[in-house]
Structure 1
């Protein structure tokens, strides 16, 4: 995912005409980015922009930037223009190069960024924003029949999946703001929970484009490429819908997207992706899985024979196909034929399964039934095996309490460090299981050069973890130290020092997120991390539990970190410490 945004070789593909799987029932209307950047105040509705001559109908070759977002009121998407202001600043940063879109924090890499060519395309491109593009019944032009507007709006809404497919760039606009009517927080986690937002996301990621990158904008200075597992475990079926009757319609869109993706890959490849989506199909669609016969397994995953399947050493080999399918019977059959159930993963990084991680880790990360873990260990997979590049174990990767129990029953070593993984990426039930087994909530992850505690892990990865507040509260109730400080060591300490020097030379605002993060790590508290990433509820929770505004070793207070990352909604609660 995302390679062509960084590779000049494939950039031509982002501008080519693409066929759509989904029905195109209403014209795609978009605003020039240059015009959008000149707009002031709350976004104006479709008919106003049409009167002003600012809307342009889609044409072959149009470079479209699709913006997915969550409405901030029941009658207007952005009544105070807050999202619009963030998007304007972010687009300006993308265009002039001051905003560097980085890989997600889980990947811990700064190798990816937008190329100069893509930045130029964005500057000259067109923006799709639902309020601009779709006729609105509540704000229709005087004299226009309500039924005709309602019909046009319905056709436009039905065409959103096709609009996504026609778009060249997909932006998830998710700054942390407050819903005007409900006072609920609107952010990345809440956006991921919405059924329609998931549908838009799926239509992007499951389209037949060469590049299906998703850019997540958290603030004017913080944008990242989406972590692949963020969408794989957010099914449309379980999404939240304001209008419940939408669910069945939108679920059908998801099924169409998945089936069309698999059919396309079966014909055009690559084989790796075909096997991956074929294996995950039941999970993605929340359908009951069924074990395959040997013949069905070989046919579905394109193996010529059992012997060929056993000998396959590709990234999506037969063992990986069986694991991601949750097929314990096939795992046993493959192992009996001497397939290697411990071969480290490779070549699946862009799908969220990183090189040197073990097949057992693939089972945990893909949320398989605990029986899959048990079967793998019974087939001689090492329950204590570690990824050679991170030294992390399968217990660290557990995503459920059942995973923890299954591994411990198979004699996995109970390690305190598992709390960090559960805090960052799993739910409260997993944390609760580990805490019940006396894992230390103040354990410092000594095996990693970052050296921080579970509360730091919660805060750092909180934007994509909808359970972050509950997880942090659970740790605090078990006496986790809210004022613990990170203490990087060894080579990583030197990376942090180099990042600090870079910040001094270039300025905080001119560095990418990974550089800012590393420059801030030494001596940072959980409150500092919550402020840095912009998580309001965690910030308030830590303050309620007595967090001090202790600066990091660079001298940045939590308020400084929030301000420099444009998380101004946190300033009032953090400014109470000002002297």
Structure 2
């Protein structure tokens, strides 16, 4: 297809649409509309989609998980991508009747029937693409990207319908450019319930929430029947938080039945009774379970929802219940260790989502600069990185003298490096500004020590021998770069532009002698590094962080 995207009725009249059948390999394309009357007035999203599909078919682009998930064992599916030849697309503008000027009066009802069947369309598609290249809204002039897509209520509805699909389990693919696509995973995805999304029509919020609630109930039934107890218990624990329903109070007997636990409760490890009670917000039940010798320090197995990290009950409570201090206080009173950590999970301070939670942990002797995990990094690194902590939490950690330069004995990077991993949302940029205001060095190079030095050297050898390497090898082979270099590796355009504005030096080389532009895998990132000024001006025009012109 060339030119401007045509609407449903026009393509149907041309005979270009086809009824779905089980033999059709179909891609569901979710996107944010860039105009009030047309979803893609300048065909920006269409060109990115076409370019990505061409690159996937030519095998010049691969889709992988993020580096952290891969490091702890996550591998993405490959078989589905081999079926792209001859695939079909589902995209709202071309597959749902549109109320254009020539539309009949009865079309509005037909459109609603299509819209409220969205979960069925998602469930029958083999791949789900979140088409989110950085663009400017045609009518409002507001920047649109993955961050704004995640804010939209209808996009969240599609996202959760996919997550709770009982058919295809291929992860969501986030598409940011013709040469930039990655599987979505991590704790951050659980922070976007439908009921808190933005809807143009307020009545849609309740209807979409009910739609997702039904999808989640069906998904839970499937998990229970399949005896996937870890995932079943996680999503059942979070049911009320994800659907906006009131917390459910359970007796001990009801709890054990609902969550498929048996007595004695002390025998259960993994994602055990204490985690489930904490996530359910039931602090009274927590006391009863610990009295019955349920473990306060059982490690949950690595899951894609947690970057494959082995978390303990206190981590889960802080990540999802930081606003409920009763749960946190109960765990601490029951002697949960405020400095507990595992090989791949930092201490609980890194998981805080509220300032009050930080203060409560510190009052119970949590160490603000305790180096943990195999990387030997303090909590603030994980808070601004994988966790994406709210900026007020980061500000409080800095008030408590969190280290902005990074320790030694492991990765030895600054927290500013880790923001590159988190993203380029408004909150991420505020966290970067907070770090710089507290004397973080915008040009600090990472200096890997201990086990990470040989890992870096092995990755460099592997990259040299294999030629074109994957994201994990590419990252560790260039670990010694500046925050700007990490942005180039991760394709983090927003933070890259922000750091350039803050006088980050693009000519600094890492241990391999490579600059940020040499590390970029995305042409958009290379474009910004070659000529940053227009992108800096665009950042300044849309950000309240900027108080002086470049």
SS in 1 for 2:28: strand
Instruction: Measure the CA separation in 2 of the matches of 1:64 and 1:133.
Output: 12
Deviations along 1:439-490, one digit per CA (max 9) or x if unpaired, are 232x21435x322111111122115x55111111222222222222222233
* Matched residue count: 523
Q: Which residue of 2 aligns with 1:543?
A: 500
Q: Which residue of 2 aligns with 1:249?
A: 207
Q: Map residues 108-187 of structure 1 onto 2, 5 A cutoff.
A: 108-109=70-71, 112-115=75-78, 117-138=79-100, 144-187=102-145
Residue 459, structure 1, aligned to residue 420, structure 2: yes
Equivalent residues of 1:521, 1:552 under 8 A apart: no
For 1:438, which of 394, 401, 412 is the aligned residue?
Answer: 401
Q: CA deviation at 1:564?
A: 4.1
- Comparing 471-480 and 564-573, the one that deviates more: 564-573
Q: 1:517 to 1:182 in 2, by over 3 A?
A: farther
Q: Map residues 193-342 of structure 1 onto 2, 5 A cutoff.
A: 193-209=151-167, 211=169, 213-304=171-262, 307-313=263-269, 315-342=270-297
Q: Which residue of 2 aligns with 1:15?
A: none
Residue 100, structure 1, aligned to residue 62, structure 2: yes
Q: CA deviation at 1:111?
A: 5.0
TM-score by length of 2: 0.87
SS in 1 for 2:392: helix
SS in 2 for 1:57: coil
For 2:341, which of 367, 372, 386 is the aligned residue?
Answer: 386
Q: 1:540 to 1:350 in 2, by over 3 A?
A: closer
Q: Which residue of 1 aligns with 2:48?
A: 86
For 2:5, which of 28, 43, 64 is the aligned residue?
Answer: 43
Deviations along 1:4-52, one digit per CA (max 9) or x if unpaired, are xxxxxxxxxxxxxxxxxxxxxxxxxxxxxxxxxxx23433322332233
Residue 487, structure 1, aligned to residue 447, structure 2: yes
Q: CA deviation at 1:113?
A: 3.3
Q: Which residue of 2 aligns with 1:56?
A: 18
Deviations along 1:489-528, one digit per CA (max 9) or x if unpaired, are 3332333334344444555xx4322233233332x22233
Q: 1:258 to 1:166 in 2, by over 3 A?
A: same
Equivalent residues of 1:374, 1:410 under 8 A apart: no
Q: CA deviation at 1:201?
A: 0.8
Residue 468, structure 1, aligned to residue 424, structure 2: no
Q: CA deviation at 1:66?
A: 0.6
Q: CA deviation at 1:271?
A: 3.1
Instruction: Measure the CA separation in 2 of the matches of 1:576 and 1:197.
Output: 30
- Comparing 541-550 and 262-271, the one that deviates more: 262-271
Q: Which residue of 1 aligns with 2:456?
A: 496
Residue 418, structure 1, aligned to residue 359, structure 2: no
Q: 1:390 to 1:311 in 2, by over 3 A?
A: closer
Equivalent residues of 1:45, 1:131 under 8 A apart: yes
TM-score by length of 1: 0.83
Q: CA deviation at 1:431?
A: 0.5
Q: CA deviation at 1:341?
A: 0.9
Equivalent residues of 2:150, 2:192 under 8 A apart: yes
Q: CA deviation at 1:235?
A: 0.7
More relative contact order in 1 or in 2 (CA 8 Å, sep 6+)?
1
Deviations along 1:138-159, one digit per CA (max 9) or x if unpaired, are 3x6xxx5432443333322222
Instruction: Measure the CA separation in 1 of the matches of 2:188 and 2:86.
Output: 30
Q: 1:411 to 1:95 in 2, by over 3 A?
A: same
Q: 1:514 to 1:545 in 2, by over 3 A?
A: same
Q: Which residue of 1 aligns with 2:548?
A: none
Q: Which residue of 2 aligns with 1:5?
A: none
Structure 1 vs Structure 2 CA RMSD:
2.7
- Comparing 220-229 and 497-506, the one that deviates more: 497-506
Deviations along 1:75-133, one digit per CA (max 9) or x if unpaired, are 22222222222222322333343322212244243752332x32232223211112221
Residue 350, structure 1, aligned to residue 304, structure 2: yes
Q: 1:75 to 1:502 in 2, by over 3 A?
A: farther
Equivalent residues of 1:520, 1:552 under 8 A apart: no
Could you tell me which runs of 5 or more consecutive residues in structure 1 were left unpaired when the two chains were aligned: 1-38
Instruction: Measure the CA separation in 1 of the matches of 2:391 and 2:104.
Output: 48
For 1:70, which of 9, 14, 32 is the aligned residue?
Answer: 32
Q: Which residue of 2 aligns with 1:33?
A: none
Q: CA deviation at 1:279?
A: 1.0
Equivalent residues of 2:128, 2:162 under 8 A apart: yes
SS in 2 for 1:127: strand
Q: 1:354 to 1:120 in 2, by over 3 A?
A: closer
Instruction: Measure the CA separation in 1 of the matches of 2:465 and 2:222.
Output: 49
Q: 1:41 to 1:571 in 2, by over 3 A?
A: farther
Equivalent residues of 1:291, 1:329 under 8 A apart: no
Instruction: Measure the CA separation in 1 of the matches of 2:66 and 2:310.
Output: 19
Instruction: Measure the CA separation in 1 of the matches of 2:308 and 2:490.
Output: 24
